Structure 1
Amino acid sequence: MTRTNLVVLDMAGTTVADGGLVEQAFAAAAERLGEAPEAMIGHVRATMGESKISVFRHLFGSEERAQQANRAFEEAYGELVGAGRIAPVPGAAEAVEKLRSQGRTVVLTTGFARTTQDAILAALGWQDLVELTLCPADAGGRGRPYPDMVFAAFLRTGAVDGVRDIAVAGDTSYDMLSAVRSGAGVVAGVLTGAHDRTQLLDHGATHVLASVAELPDLLAGVDDR
């Protein structure tokens, strides 16, 4: 019998309720660079979950300009986090603790840079919540929709024998694509973030949950089959 012993969770929109801070930080970054935020917001919404530097590369073309924009974004997001504008998704920490009590290894992943990820973890008091946290730079730099962070979780934890024993949960189409491309057995979309049920299913979700709080019971059922 297979058992889903590795769980890879997205942060913003999945375990972390940022209340639209990603869009606000993108807008602030654009303004700091003298760009019009409204010209970019459609692409930003469509690519939620992608690594932020990749989004800026698409928007600006120039690598230098993309790096400037990414730094401005990370600064703006960090300021919002520092101002207390971030909170856990209700039941997220409890879900992680339940998953761990079930004997599963849990990894938190993000499209943000490491400095921003660490700031979020510190703001929530989550530094010791999970065994491993990953950002795109920890897995070669490509970020989602590539499966690299899922593979990095698989390789670094050694928690399962094969990728089919991995569960991935996220709130965006790119989270779903990343999970599907990794070969994960459970691809769970959650409705607490950027994309709706149809978008999640269209991009490969095997399950759609109201929130990550439902994940421990889902995986318990999957294991019992």
Structure 2
Amino acid sequence: MPNPTPHTSPIELVVMDMAGTTVADDGLVLDAFDAAATSVGLPEEGPEREAARKYVLDTMGQSKIEVFRALFDSEEDAQSANRAFERAYDARIDGGVTPVPVAAETIARLRGAGISVVLTTGFSPTTQGRIVDALGWQDLPDAFLAPGEFGRGRPHPDLVLSAALHVQVSDMAAVAVVGDTSNDIRSGLRAGAPVVAGVLTGAHGADQLRDAGATHVLDSIAEFPALVLN
């Protein structure tokens, strides 16, 4: 894609998504969803399963428990499916997740330039921690945030606002957000970030990201520093 137009105002914080943006998981989300759906009795084949899988793809980036609440009639089934999803995903993390090319270098470059970086997810804190441990990223960003303790998941603005509070930015105009899903984009816009960039290494394509309001669409996280480093 063409080089993005740089953002001219100083950026103090970048809020980055994990799966699909900085972390590749080779389809583990859908695999884990299928295991979870089967565990609560959703037919393994047919229109009901296909509709549920489409919903999972369309809502990538959201808190997983909220996705299951939308799919299943009872809170008990939603919680059971969420637990099964986490077990299935966690069992596949070792050897199943890898960094998106130059993601770690991009984070280090931004922090070296004095910009704080916070990594966020729609997974539970436990699953996020397992991914971080598998990658050895414990000290890479300034912080890791997940739904729950730090508020609602995407598309709500809570994680972006919590990140801004955590690093004590001077103004929301100094915050940039980057992710691979429409929900990442909506979350950033609702939080008031002036730079809300989509990347094409994950769940959603350029049209979906632009329709959600992305200020920039990039091939990958590798192009992101050009937006915010002047």
- TM-score, normalised via structure 1 length: 0.94
Question: What residue identity is the alignment partner of 2:117?
Answer: V
Q: Match for residue 7 of structure 1? A: 14
Partner Cα separation in structure 2 for residue 20 and residue 167 of structure 1? 27
Secondary structure (helix, strand or coil) at the match of 1:9 reads strand
**Quick one: distance in 1 between partners of 2:149 and 2:9?**
28
Consecutive unaligned residues in structure 2, runs of 5 or more = 1-7, 44-48
SS in 2 for 1:40: helix
Amino acid at match of 1:109: T
Determine the C-alpha separation between the residues in 2 that align with 1:138 and 1:168.
20
2:134 is equivalent to residue 123 of structure 1 = yes
Number of residues of Structure 1 aligned to a counterpart in Structure 2:
218
Deviation at 1:138, TM superposition (A): 2.5
Whether 2:89 is the aligned partner of 1:77: answer: yes
Identity over aligned pairs, percent:
57
CA distance in 1, matches of 2:36, 2:51: 13
What SS class does the counterpart of residue 203 from structure 2 fall into?
coil
Q: Counterpart amino acid of 2:136?
A: G
| Aligned residue number for residue 150 of structure 1 | 160
1:79 and 1:31 mapped to 2: Cα distance? 16
Aligned to 1:210: 219
**CA root-mean-square deviation:** 1.1
Give how far 1:218 is off: 1.7
3-state SS in 2 of match to 1:24: helix
The ranges of structure 1 where at least 4 consecutive aligned residues each deviate by more than 3 angstroms after the TM superposition are none
Could you say what secondary structure the match of 2:140 adopts?
coil
Name the CA distance, whole Å, in 1 between partners of 2:39 and 2:138: 31
CA-to-aligned-CA distance 1:113-161 (integer Å, 9 cap, x gap): 0110000000000011111100001322x20000000000011111x21
For structure 1, the 5+ residue unaligned runs are none
Q: Give 1:70 shift.
A: 0.4
1:64-110 deviations in Å (ceiling 9; x for gaps): 1111110000110000103x111000010000000101110000000
Code of the aligned partner of 1:152: S
Is 2:106 the partner of 1:95? yes
Partner deviation per Cα, 1:18-73 (whole Å, 9 max, x = no partner)? 11111111011111222134341010011000100000000003111111110000
Letter in 1 for 2:143: L
Query: Where is the helix percentage greater, Structure 1 or Structure 2?
Result: 1
Q: How does 1:181-220 map to 2 (within 5 A)?
A: 181-220=190-229
TM (norm. structure 2) is 0.92
Amino acid at match of 1:190: V
Distance 1:64 1:137 in 2: 18
- Residue 56 in structure 1 maps to residue 65 in structure 2: no
Aligned to 2:46: none
